[in-house]
Structure 1
């Protein structure tokens, strides 16, 4: 693991003195830090341009015999199945390509996919191409998890050890800022009528392309700048060799710490996706009531109203989520980590989720669900996001590139799969009302808290040693 080699007595630049408002920035770290800040800002901005469109598109997609809530849940499960193969391919590519090349090529593939889906959007080349909305929903889910996970793998590798604990909270401000700006701009563009929702796909290409340039710049500079990378070093793979045995999953299940991290990732997304499905269900019920109240008739008119209404709701919803997340990240995350340690930042989200779903169980109406989901997701995207990056600091480079993408993508999407199973059992077999789904989440949060405590205890033990120990 790289040592913190920041010169101890060199004076701080004006930029570094300004950045110290957010965290402990030392001499030489400022410029690369702000490049990484801007990099993740652009990635999350691009993601939120397409995320609201994803929910609007799936709302007008039809599969015989399935409600929109069921279709949304089962489509999320399909993501987990596809990611099994993608994670294995990514691990092998990381053993062949330098990290700069790896990130560049993966991002370029995503850009080409945005152009493809722009051509397939409803009402452009096709009125409503069967399966296109489902394919887009699957792709956005994988894009949002995998590209973001790829950035944080790079950041955790670039900022190792003590430097990572200081600077990752600062970079996370860029993530929440990009998400807030992306959702705000989406809301503004759609409300003003300057662009139709499908144009967001092309707009997202601009920040995504910019993130490639910033990633390459940060990799060339190194954590404190002035580190000119030799030609031979630029050709060195992100990790040496390839995963042994069963690969990333084998490595995860052989280490208590990694297994606990994977368990928390699965439970976090299971709970969160259950909550998103609950919100979507209540929203669609509200929109159907609005359709009846307005007296709208005709399939085209109803679809247009539901699609635009869903997109507009989520644009506004994501704006408030990310604004609150930005404030929490900028003002609280680094201070909580410094004063309360890993336990304070890792246990906060499950506690808030417990309060949120208890409230939804008592009063499952759109206003309550919206406010409590904003509180939960704002914490998830800020303070808990910081925790999810910091817990990788005791791990090796091989663990970061082999197991972090697997956990941040495959296990998160397995959480979606479990949420889909929850919908199947709850709606099709048990016919549960909305508030019962909130009670299911209350029970899951209890398990989540237990696994999070294991991480906290293992983290405190491992930080001096720096390497997770195998399961006995």
Structure 2
């Protein structure tokens, strides 16, 4: 299973940098490159809401192994199709193909990864899961680092052309299908099928109850609880700030590549597009490598220690404090190297320490809050954050004509709000924890 998730994340991080390279050359008249990316990101979040329901219905009709196999093979077939359609290979470029690919990669990243963790949760008992899943998770982070490192190496050295990355990414996915089927067959041969559901819903993709009604109820529930309100606002601001940062990083990269193209005297339109696509892909390959390596270190050596020594408040407020320092630095020095280093620090902390905080947050609350409020926050308020980030780009570019530095200053103001509501959430968490301990003593 460790090898399985290593292969899955390796494949994903072959594709993810390519997504950024492809969207970088998907020009739409009247829109900047940052706008194209920002609006595509928001459209992706809306698209996922519809796909989640469809996937959930399939999970009720098909057995676990059938669902995983067919979903993975479907994604592999899509990768071959996109390989054929990618600009500059067999055709010059289809309109909006980069945007469609961007939307598809978002779907791929959610479903392929989440169905693996659902499969893992289904085959392990509670005792073995607590012992083995943290180890398996290291395989995932290692696969992400390996995939992004190989993309950076291949593109920078020219060992493999950018066009071939999609085909190479299918190989680890085929290996993942074989491993998954082997594990499932072994469980059947060991007579443990009775412990495994033959048809499994996907709780990592949908809510604990796939009906939309609990999400609506959960959305209303936040207005009756200070804890839920604070959790929703912190989630919204976290996503808003981070998505703004991703869009600004993309803008700085495109500005830097445009300057490099001028310095290198690259003039032909196709040569410029190829230079920008390859440069963006290579940059993100290197960027994701350092994010994943740093996150692996923080998750392995820092997250549990910070939780043990400082408690929930420390791990929850670590990310906004780092974000405040990062975006203040980026506002003062909005150059590529500085922005890259600061975003690596922010994203790595989000994937490790803040990810731990998200799981710990729900431990002291009652079942109603957990099962109704959490799905609403993890869907509606995360997507709301994406929407606000898209609106920020729309108003900032089309109405106010903000510079990159001014965008960073705006993000600093959002982080200040994030810190305020984060402190509020810590207080509500401590109250819930104290109430829970009192109830247990009774």
For the superposition of Structure 1 and Structure 2, which TM-score range results when normalised by the shorter chain? 0.7 to 0.9
Secondary structure at the counterpart of residue 377 of structure 1: helix
- Corresponding residue for residue 100 of structure 2: 135
Aligned: 1:68 with 2:24: no
Q: How many residues align?
A: 429
The structure carrying a bigger helix percent of its residues is: 2
Secondary structure at the counterpart of residue 288 of structure 2: helix
Q: What does residue range 434-453 of structure 1 map to in structure 2 within 5 Å?
A: 434-453=404-423
Distance, in Å, in 2 between the alignment partners of 1:353 and 1:382 is 14
Task: Report the alpha carbon displacement of residue 217 of structure 1 after superposing the two structures with TM.
Answer: 6.3
- Corresponding residue for residue 250 of structure 1: 217
Task: Report the alpha carbon displacement of residue 401 of structure 1 after superposing the two structures with TM.
Answer: 9.8
- Corresponding residue for residue 148 of structure 1: 113
Distance, in Å, in 2 between the alignment partners of 1:186 and 1:171 is 23
On the 8 A contact 2:218/2:376 being kept in 1, the answer is no
- Corresponding residue for residue 347 of structure 1: 317
Residue in structure 1 matching 2:13, options 32, 39, 48: 48
On the 8 A contact 1:114/1:202 being kept in 2, the answer is yes
Distance, in Å, in 2 between the alignment partners of 1:267 and 1:158 is 36
- Corresponding residue for residue 230 of structure 1: 194
Residue in structure 1 matching 2:174, options 199, 203, 209: 209
Secondary structure at the counterpart of residue 127 of structure 1: coil
Which blocks of at least 5 consecutive residues in structure 1 are unaligned?
1-34, 467-472
On the 8 A contact 2:122/2:196 being kept in 1, the answer is no
Aligned: 1:124 with 2:89: yes
Aligned: 1:271 with 2:241: yes
Secondary structure at the counterpart of residue 114 of structure 1: helix
- Corresponding residue for residue 313 of structure 1: 283
Task: Report the alpha carbon displacement of residue 143 of structure 1 after superposing the two structures with TM.
Answer: 2.4
What TM-score comes out, normalization by structure 2 length? 0.83
RMSD value over aligned CA atoms?
Answer: 3.8
Secondary structure at the counterpart of residue 154 of structure 2: helix
1:100 and 1:263, CA in 2 relative to 1: closer, same or farther beyond 3 A?
A: farther
On the 8 A contact 2:248/2:404 being kept in 1, the answer is yes
Secondary structure at the counterpart of residue 193 of structure 2: coil
1:439 and 1:130, CA in 2 relative to 1: closer, same or farther beyond 3 A?
A: same
Distance, in Å, in 2 between the alignment partners of 1:320 and 1:115 is 28
Distance, in Å, in 1 between the alignment partners of 2:410 and 2:163 is 36
Distance, in Å, in 1 between the alignment partners of 2:92 and 2:323 is 40
Distance, in Å, in 2 between the alignment partners of 1:113 and 1:295 is 36
Which blocks of at least 5 consecutive residues in structure 2 are unaligned?
438-442
1:368 and 1:242, CA in 2 relative to 1: closer, same or farther beyond 3 A?
A: closer
Secondary structure at the counterpart of residue 90 of structure 1: helix
105-114 vs 49-58, which deviates more? 105-114
On the 8 A contact 2:218/2:374 being kept in 1, the answer is no
Distance, in Å, in 1 between the alignment partners of 2:129 and 2:346 is 25
What TM-score comes out, normalization by structure 1 length? 0.78
On the 8 A contact 1:50/1:200 being kept in 2, the answer is yes
1:371 and 1:231, CA in 2 relative to 1: closer, same or farther beyond 3 A?
A: closer
